[in-house]
Amino acid sequence: MKNLFKNFFLIILLFSSIVFSQTVKVKIIETSDVHGAIFPYNFLTDKPANSSLAQVMTYLKEQRADTNQIVFLIDNGDVLQGNPAIYYINFEKKDGIHLLADIMNYMEYDAATVGNHDFDPGPEVYNRFRKDTNFDLLAANAIDESTNKPYFKPYTTIERGGIKIAVFGMITPYVPNWLPEKLYKGIRFEDMVQTAKEWVKKIRAWEQPDLLIGLFHSGVDANYAGQNNETYKNENASELVAKLVPGFDIVFVGHDHQGHNYSIRNVEDGKVLILGTQANARTLAVANVNLEFDKHCGFFDIKEKNGEIVEVKNYPPDKDFLDRYQNLFKEINEYSSQKIGINKSEIKSADALFGPAIATDLINQIQLEISEADVSFTPPFSFNDVIGIGDIHIRDLFSLLRYENYLYTMELTGKEIKDYLEYSYGNWLNQMKDENDHLLRFKKNEKGELVYSNRTNSPELFERFYNYDCAAGIDYIVDITKPIGERVIIEKLSDGRKFNTDGKYKVAINSYRGSGGGGHLTSGAGIPKEELSKRILKSTDTDFRYYVIEYIKEKKVIEPKLFKNWEIVPENLWKKGKEKDYQILFGKN
């Protein structure tokens, strides 16, 4: 019996040495910034689409069917905002399980990090979503102020096929710069580098994972919008963390929608693979890792790791997925196709990039009526969408108003209004000396040539279009021959009252801007960030889009027109510049 036991032990030992000397293949699949792209259908245009979670499911099944690899699935945030599908799930379908949680459970996600837009629907929605998921929601640097501990889990571990991975999640700390405090009340957002330094050694010691994965809803460009490597609470600190905090094997990024696949060396010369996706489920970021068991040391070594970007358009929608959620698809389509009124004037968001436009005047008109303010500010909320003459549907308002902003009424002085507009037009319009100059302020390289985006292959604007704020309620001109800071001349309030720089005025403004987004109030008007909340006189109790829908329902017929309260001068330069730059951006007029 003794010899029998000894022989059995030797056989087991031999078998183990054979098994654990072999390479184990691990595949980690990331989705990020899905923004409601559940079905292969664009509910904004009422047409089929070629990117969706339904198509991701096909790829997942294919990979999971390969028994020679171990597959993990993770998401990197911004799933709870973006289109009529997720809006319907959040606000119209409140009974039972949160249906996106059900979908992600069905797809068998292993972990997810919270994105900044996941706070947009408010705590009732994201807490319900968190309760209904079968996987952990992560954000180590989102701190519950009542406990001084992470509001969401800081990390999670997943074991599969003898492999243990630890997934450490963080969110961009810029949330307070964009959102009303009531959407994240009781949560503060800490610096990503500092937070990672506090956690990585603990995770390595406590969990001893075979792989440590960073899952950061934050971009890679630490120099974005005037920031740098030393900026505390940098918006896009994912690469900084990978470099400055040793211990990560792979860092998955999100937020910037760019798509990334490259490696860097950290401060201890360790290789860190950095991966990220584009938005709306257009691509997947996939890490392929070969692990080999070291029988002498008793742990796995990384023999090889590389990344790939998978184009979702190359995969058909999964039939089982579509069958399971066919009723939900039907409900969303019916919701987004609801007729809410009739429109008698074409609304083109692209026009608002070049000067006065119906698209922005309509928003300013509704903001003024709802708020009863003196002045209203708005940018174009979409780049190139059209609401034609005829029936208006709910989906049209999701094209015109992409984000779940609230409407604030704030108190500003006349000087702050003037400085706000100087800041907006300084980032928006170029100084024109003659007809050969551009109207729009484009990014240029050291040779003075236009800089083209690698992602869109089009010229990059100096500032994002959704920061091009114009005003209503005041009559003013913008002189594009003048230097930045000296362009805006405010003549009077549009109702005939005198405009005083030392007067105080009620201003209608979206919550993104009112929270400091874009810098118009802070860098432009010079109001300290901590003072902004004190300037808020009132706020809508839900998103502004809801009020616009109700406004149109009540009016039944709208015929938006130009206010003609502002103009760009000299007219000849404006027209020439507009013609040239419209051609550059859109190809025709």
Which residue in the block uniquely carries the two structure tokens 């440590």? Answer: 212
Q: Is residue 518 part of a domain?
A: yes
Of 315, 333, 351, the position where a domain reaches its end is 333
Which runs of E-coded beta strand occur in 46-172? Answer: 47-48, 69-75, 111-113, 136-138, 142-144, 149-150, 155-160, 163-171
Same domain, yes or no, for 318 and 437? no
If asked whether residues 389 and 415 sit together in one domain, one would say: yes
When pLDDT is cut at 50, 70 and 90, the band that residue 495 belongs to is: very high
Residue 242 has pLDDT above 50, yes or no: yes
- Name the least confident of 7-11, 274-278, 339-343: 7-11
Residue 10 lies in a domain: no
pLDDT tens column, 186-225? 999 999 999 999 999 999 999 999 999 999 999 999 998 8
Q: Is there a single domain that holds both residue 177 and residue 323?
A: yes
Q: How many helices (H) and strands (E) does the chain have?
A: 15, 30
Residue found by looking up tokens 């006189």 in the block: 537
Backbone angles phi, psi at 215, to 5 degrees: -125, 90
Q: How does residue 456 score in pLDDT terms, banded at 50, 70 and 90? A: confident
Can you tell me the distance from the alpha carbon of 171 to that of 231, in angstroms, rounded to the nearest whole number? 16
For the segment 6-33, the average pLDDT, to the nearest whole number, is 66
DSSP state of 318: P
The percentage of residues in the chain with a pLDDT greater than 90, rounded to a whole number, is: 92
Asked if the model's pLDDT at residue 12 lies above 50, the reply is no
Domains contained in the chain, number: 2
pLDDT at position 89 is: 98
- Range in 5-19, 323-337, 347-361 the model is least confident about: 5-19
* pLDDT over 70 at 20, yes or no: no
241/255 Cα distance (integer angstroms): 15
Three-state secondary-structure class, residue 316: coil
Question: Residue 277: is its pLDDT beyond 50?
Answer: yes
Mean pLDDT of 255-277: 97
Amino acid (1-letter code) at residue 268: E
Q: Are 376 and 364 in contact (CB under 8 A)?
A: yes
**281, 406: one domain:** no
Element containing residue 471 per DSSP (H, E) = strand 470-472
Residue pair 286/307 in contact (Cβ under 8 Å)? The answer is: yes
The CA distances from residue 384 to 266, 387, 436, 456, in Å, are: 41, 10, 25, 14
Q: How far apart are CA 259 and CA 547, in angstroms?
A: 35
On whether both 310 and 422 belong to a single domain, the answer is: no
Give the structural domain span for 298: 22-333
Is residue 175 within 8 Å of residue 119, measured between CB atoms? Answer: yes
Q: What is the mean pLDDT of residues 122-142?
A: 98
Which helix (H) or strand (E) element contains residue 303?
strand 299-311
Kindly indicate the confidence band of residue 563, based on its pLDDT and cuts at 50, 70 and 90: very high
Instruction: Note if the pTM is more than 0.85.
Output: yes
Distance CA 305, CA 273 (A): 8
Per residue in 501-539, pLDDT (tens digit) is 999 999 999 999 999 999 999 999 999 999 999 999 999
Do residues 131 and 166 both lie within one domain? yes
CB atoms within 10 A of CB 429: 24
Terminal Cα distance for the chain, rounded: 91
Determine, yes or no, domain membership for 108.
yes
pLDDT at 589: 54
* 20 φ, ψ (degrees, to nearest 5): -85, 0
At 160 the pLDDT is: 96
The answer to whether residue 9 sits within a structural domain is no
- Provide the phi-psi class of 107: left if phi over 0, else alpha when psi is between -120 and 50, else beta: alpha
Domain of 119, CATH number, reads 3.60.21.10
Establish if 13 belongs to a structural domain.
Answer: no
Does residue 1 lie within any of the structural domains? no
pLDDT(5) > 70: no
Place of tokens 């245009």: 45
Phi-psi region of 216 (alpha: psi -120 to 50; beta: other; left: phi over 0): beta
What CATH number does residue 349 fall under?
A: 3.90.780.10
On the question of pLDDT at 308 being above 90, the answer is: yes
Co-location of 243 and 359 in the same domain: no
Tokens of residue 401, six digits: 């108003």
Residue 11 in any domain: the answer is: no
**Which CA distances in Å does 110 have to 28, 136, 302, 339?**
10, 8, 21, 40
CA atoms within 13 A on the CB side of 544: 28
Quick check: 17 pLDDT over 50? no
**Residues pairing with 311 in the sheet:** 283
Q: Are 404 and 508 in contact (CB under 8 A)?
A: no
Average pLDDT over residues 101-110: 98
Q: What is the pLDDT of residue 77?
A: 98
How many angstroms separate the CA atoms of 169 and 212, rounded? Answer: 11
Q: Check: CB of residue 322 under 8 Å from CB of residue 32.
A: no
Residues 6+ apart with CB under 8 A from 531: none
pLDDT for the residue numbered 454: 76
Tell me: do 367 and 289 sit in the same domain: no
**What confidence tier does 29 reach under pLDDT thresholds 50, 70, 90?**
very high
Please indicate, yes or no, whether residues 531 and 569 belong to a single structural domain of this protein: yes
Provide the pLDDT for residue 296: 72
Question: What b/e sequence results for 247-271 when a residue is b if at least 16 CB atoms lie within 10 Å of its CB, and e otherwise?
Answer: bbbbbbbbbbbbbbbeeeebeeeee
Judgement on whether residues 466 and 502 belong to the same structural domain of the protein: yes
Are 343 and 397 contacting, i.e. CB atoms less than 8 angstroms apart?
A: no
Q: Are residues 320 and 352 in the same domain?
A: no
Mode of pairing for the β-strands spanning 250-253 and 211-217: parallel
Q: String of b and e for 461-474 (b: at least 16 CB within 10 Å)? A: bbbebbbbbbbbbb
51 burial level (CB within 10 Å; 0-12, 13-18, 19+): buried
Q: How confident is the model at residue 588 (pLDDT cuts 50, 70, 90)?
A: low
Average pLDDT over residues 547-572: 97
- According to the model, what pLDDT value does residue 11 have? 43
Check whether residue 419 and residue 391 sit in a common domain.
yes
| Over residues 64-80, mean pLDDT | 98
Outline where 73-122 has alpha helix (H). Answer: 84-87, 99-106
For residue 6, pLDDT over 50 is answered with no
Residue 370: CB atoms within 10 Å: 18
Q: Where a domain ends, among 333, 353, 387?
A: 333
Averaged pLDDT score across all residues of the chain = 94
Given a cut of 60, whether residue 402 has pLDDT beyond it is: yes
DSSP track, 493-509: ETTSPPP-TTSEEEEEE
**Rounded distance between C-alpha atoms, residue 427 and residue 446, angstroms:** 19
Both tokens assigned to 152? 């969401």
State the helix-helix crossing angle for 358-371 and 544-555, rounded to 10 degrees: 90
Residue 4 C-alpha from the chain's centroid: 64
Domain boundary among the residues 333, 355, 378 is at 333
Q: Are 237 and 193 in contact, with CB atoms under 8 Å apart?
A: yes
- Angle, CA 529 vertex, CA 524 and CA 532 arms, to 5°: 90
Residue 12 lies in a domain: no
How many Å apart are CA 504 and CA 60, to the nearest integer?
58
The β-bridge relationship of strands 536-539 and 504-510 is unpaired
* Residue 523 DSSP code: I
